[in-house]
Structure 1
Amino acid sequence: MRPIRAACLGTTTALVALLACAPVEAAATDTGSAHAKGGHRVITLIGVLKEQTRFPVTPGGIPAAQGDRTVFRSDLLDQNRKKVGETGGTCTTTRAVDGGAEECTVTYTLPGGQLSAQGMVFGILTQGRPTTPPPPFDNAITGGTGKFDRARGQIHAETIAPNTRRFTIDLD
């Protein structure tokens, strides 16, 4: 598959002066498929957790075990705190020792299409319990639909407040 191609759009978010981004509104006004445009694009969004449910392998058992699942949904906001999409996915605990690890599959629904991402999140446990705040992580973009058809790249996530993460979507 060919990597995504899009015009490089750069602005500075009000939330992070150090990270360049392409506002979602600008991405939403592009015409045609992003992979046909050529170039590189970075989109920075804020995710606010709206729902999260944990499904332990052994209800009432140890606080984190291999095979536990988490299902979540967050609203995605632009730099002006306007809702522009949502993200949802599942994570499965693959390691319940040495800081823990989860394998996650996530879909980002944005204006003009969706992005799929997958990868590991390490350090999810502190002394056998979920960490607060969750550590930063990077996941691979595995594909997309609409304007994000054939998308490739990565998504960096970091916690910036309780139940709030900054997502830096780096499209190749």
Structure 2
Amino acid sequence: MNINLRSHTMRPIRAACLGTATALVALLACAPVAGAAMDTDSAHAKGGDRVITLIGHLAQQSRFPVNPNGPAAQGDRTVVRSILKDQNDENVVGETGGFCTTTTVENRGAEECVVTYNLPGGQLTVQGMVFRILNEEGGVAIPPPSFDNAITGGTGVFDRARGSVHADTIGSGIRRFTIDLDR
């Protein structure tokens, strides 16, 4: 089974509505992961890997700036929650929850993000950097940049999971996640 997940990228705390998504949240919905989307032809899939493609819809986002009413700063934090649907964007299959912390505002900024994907049968934990989170004026980059983060573990059917998650913005508050699980 190949899993492709693309989440909302969390932005600096002052940043805008698409967080690099993904934090720890309880599983919302129902459809089995097998029905979520098997994408064995994905450019991100390697031989024998499981790839799952999901569509994430930003549900909640809270920003905690270091300098309220000021420019983006190191230490800004964003907390997000997204609803995950199958690759056809029809059936709810889970949710994500996570947070990002701005690590630099130089060179258009960067964030360190930690996210949990709650799916039928278990959870996946993901962590990594998102670069170019700010536009040239220092505001949030619109659309948010794509990113690749590492799968650091999991529970249930995802116990000892390894691999990566690639995320692309495909609409306002919407990301495609491609989860590539190494076997």
Pairs aligned (count): 142
Q: Give the structure with the higher percent strand.
A: 1
Compute the RMSD of aligned alpha carbons.
1.8
Q: How far apart, in 2, do the equivalents of 1:102 and 1:160 lie?
A: 20
State the shift of 1:26 in Å. 1.5
Identity %: 67
State the shift of 1:74 in Å. 0.2
Per-residue CA deviation, residues 43-86 of structure 1 (Å, 9 max, x unaligned), is 00000001011100011121x11000000000000034110000
CA 1:27–1:150 in structure 2 vs 1: closer, same or farther (change >3 Å)?
farther
Question: Taking structure 1 as the reference length, what is the TM-score of the superposition?
Answer: 0.78
Higher Cα Rg: structure 1 or 2? 1
Report the equivalent of 1:121: 130
Structure 2's unaligned 5+ residue stretches are 4-30, 37-47
Report the equivalent of 2:165: 155
Relative contact order (C-alpha < 8 Å, sep 6+): which is higher? 2
Q: How far apart, in 1, do the equivalents of 2:92 and 2:145 lie?
A: 24
Which residue identity is paired with 1:97? Answer: E
Find the residue that maps to 1:147 and give its secondary structure.
Answer: helix
Per-residue CA deviation, residues 22-44 of structure 1 (Å, 9 max, x unaligned), is x954278xxxxxxxxxx420000
The 5 Å alignment of 1:2-81 reads 8=1, 25-26=33-34, 39-62=48-71, 64-80=72-88, 81=90
Hey, which bits of structure 1, 4+ residues long, moved more than 3 A? none
CA 1:150–1:27 in structure 2 vs 1: closer, same or farther (change >3 Å)?
farther
Structure 1's unaligned 5+ residue stretches are 1-7, 11-22, 29-38
Question: Taking structure 2 as the reference length, what is the TM-score of the superposition?
Answer: 0.74
